Structure 1
Amino acid sequence: MFVIFGASGKVGHATAVALRNAGQPVRAVVRRARQGEALAKIGCEMATADLTDPASVASAIKGAAAVQMLCPVPVGDIDPASTMERMIDVAAHALRADPPPAVLALSDYGAELDEGTGLTRLFHLLEARLKPLATHLTLLRSAEHMQNWAAMLPVMLATGRLPSLHQPLDRAFATVATQDVGALAAELLLEAPSTKTPRIVSVEGPRRVSLIDVARAFSPAVGRDIVAEAVPRTAWAPMLQRAGLSPNHVQLITELYDAVNVGQIDVEKGVSEQRFGKTELPDACASMLAAHVKSR
């Protein structure tokens, strides 16, 4: 049984679908039962769990041949770092108490760094907690998800602008489609363990892009010219707070983009295997717009 945490999310859903298409049994773990309707229709066994609740996590991993673990950054939390640290501790404890033969943890570029990276530091903590597990461990570090820009579609449609914390606008960075991350995760879960030491795999898209490239890719999708706009650093916090983020969350994002913009967040050279997704940015932009229109 393959146990997939965060199965209602974009990456987890893609992993679950890929495993079911390969004829594998999947237990899809969601926080609320209604989130699992589509997964139940493709034959997944459903389980509900709260990553801050040890009993529900322990129940979800019972009998697993492999576990895909995701500890998401909690949106809308007053202190997201503390909550995510709690999730990590609960997950690590459950996996130590009842270790499956294999664990794949969804992590981030830059997770090898232990300070000065904001949100990414939490993925460093996740990796550190899981590395002592008595099981075959794969750490799948992904670049920034293309689908994150879907949140900016209302602004692009209304104003023709794409505001961003990425600076300078012409600096190329790694990005990847969530479906490619999920598909690779399924592939890695199906592989026989090849080493007793943690396996580190990094994944990004077929080519690196700048914010100017992102704006150009969205332009034909939305039917108007989109212009990339660098948000002045002094305006980051007010903008993020207007979006409803707590001061603690704002600080984590600020630290992250300070690190991103000086090139600190990237593939760990000489340590991780490098994989590349197939989804091109314009295709991802078109899919994001279609999903946005459908949801309205």
Structure 2
Amino acid sequence: MFAIVGAAGNVGYSTSLALREAGVPVRAILRDKAKAARLREIGCEIVLADVQDSGALAKSIADVDAVQIILPVPLQAKDPGGEMQRAIGSIAVALERARPRRVLAISDYGAHVANDIGMPTMFRTFEERLGRLNAHKMFLRSAEHMQNWERVIPVAIASGNLPSFHDPVDMVFPTISAPDLGQIAANLLLRPDIGRELEVIHAEGPCRYSASDVATALSQLSGRAVRAHAVPRPQWKETFERSMPASLAGLLIKFYDACNKGSLVDIEPNNGEVRYGTTELIDALRPLPPPQ
């Protein structure tokens, strides 16, 4: 039995689907029963549990062979950073109680960096805490998701301007389609045990892209001219805090500062294999929402 915590999300659903297509049983663990329908349709067992409830989470994974864990980013919480810290502790306690043989944790590019670089540092804490588990651990570090551009696509196409915190806009960076990440995770879960207590694997798309590449793809998809422009650094805090709590804005500001320095939010040197998705940027953006 494979348990997928956070199975309703893009990555979790993709992993669940790939495992079901491989003919193995999947227990889909999610918080909102309203999102269970498509998981039930592919033959998953449905269990409701919140990552903040270590007791319920431990029960949901008590008898499984392998668990995939995704640390959720609670966008609607008053203090997303604090919520993530509490979730890390709750997840670790649940895994210690349930004692699955294998744990695959979705992590982040840059989780190896010792300095505080925002969101990747949160995943460094996640890795360090789960590293104490008595289990075969796989830390699957993900590049930035292509789907993260979704929230700005309508305004970019309508206005012709794509705002970017990647600066300069022609600087390429690692990125991956979220469903590709789920497929890579499923392949790792299905792989025979190689006898190592800890593995670090990085996942990114078939090639690296820039914000200008995103604008070009949107131009091709919409038939309208779109150009990328870098949001000036002094405007970041105000821009982020229009749509999110200050603690999350702070994590993202540090993250983009690290991205723009180059080489920090990247593959850890001399540690871990790299797996590549197959979805090109334009194909990942194709189903995202058009302007209203």
* TM-score category of the 2 structures, normalised to the smaller one: over 0.9
Counterpart CA distance in 1 for 2:70 and 2:220 is 34
- Asked if 2 retains the 8 angstrom alpha-carbon contact of 1:146 and 1:177, the reply is yes
- Asked if 2 retains the 8 angstrom alpha-carbon contact of 1:146 and 1:284, the reply is yes
Counterpart CA distance in 2 for 1:248 and 1:88 is 17
Aligned to 2:32: 32
Aligned to 2:88: 88
Counterpart CA distance in 2 for 1:79 and 1:115 is 22
Counterpart CA distance in 1 for 2:66 and 2:188 is 11
Percent same amino acid among aligned pairs?
Answer: 42
Aligned to 1:180: 180
Aligned to 2:76: 76
**What is the deviation of 1:194?**
0.7
Counterpart CA distance in 2 for 1:29 and 1:141 is 21
Counterpart CA distance in 2 for 1:67 and 1:96 is 12
The C-alpha deviation readout for 1:181-216, integer Å capped at 9, x for no partner, is 000000000111113331000011111111111110
Superposition pairs of residues 225-240 of structure 1, within 5 angstroms: 225-240=225-240
Stretches of structure 2 lacking an aligned partner (at least 5 in a row) = none
- Asked if 2 retains the 8 angstrom alpha-carbon contact of 1:78 and 1:249, the reply is no
Aligned residues, how many?
A: 291
Counterpart CA distance in 2 for 1:54 and 1:95 is 9
Superposition pairs of residues 15-164 of structure 1, within 5 angstroms: 15-164=15-164
**What is the deviation of 1:112?**
1.0
Q: What one-letter code is carried by the residue in structure 2 that aligns with 1:99?
A: R
TM-score, normalization by structure 2:
0.97
- Asked if 2 retains the 8 angstrom alpha-carbon contact of 1:10 and 1:178, the reply is yes
TM-score, normalization by structure 1:
0.95
Superposition pairs of residues 194-273 of structure 1, within 5 angstroms: 194-243=194-243, 245-263=244-262, 264-273=264-273
**What is the deviation of 1:115?**
2.8
The C-alpha deviation readout for 1:81-126, integer Å capped at 9, x for no partner, is 1110111111111111221111100000001123321111110011
Counterpart CA distance in 1 for 2:269 and 2:247 is 31
- Give secondary structure in 2 for the equivalent of 1:207: coil
The C-alpha deviation readout for 1:246-266, integer Å capped at 9, x for no partner, is 111111111111011101110
The C-alpha deviation readout for 1:121-150, integer Å capped at 9, x for no partner, is 110011001112111110000100000011
**What is the deviation of 1:76?**
2.0
**What is the deviation of 1:60?**
1.3
Counterpart CA distance in 2 for 1:167 and 1:102 is 39
Q: CA RMSD in A?
A: 1.3
* Runs of 4+ off more than 6 Å: none
Counterpart CA distance in 2 for 1:79 and 1:242 is 15
- Asked if 2 retains the 8 angstrom alpha-carbon contact of 1:117 and 1:259, the reply is yes
228-237 or 54-63, which deviates more: 54-63
Counterpart CA distance in 2 for 1:257 and 1:34 is 34
- Asked if 2 retains the 8 angstrom alpha-carbon contact of 1:116 and 1:259, the reply is no
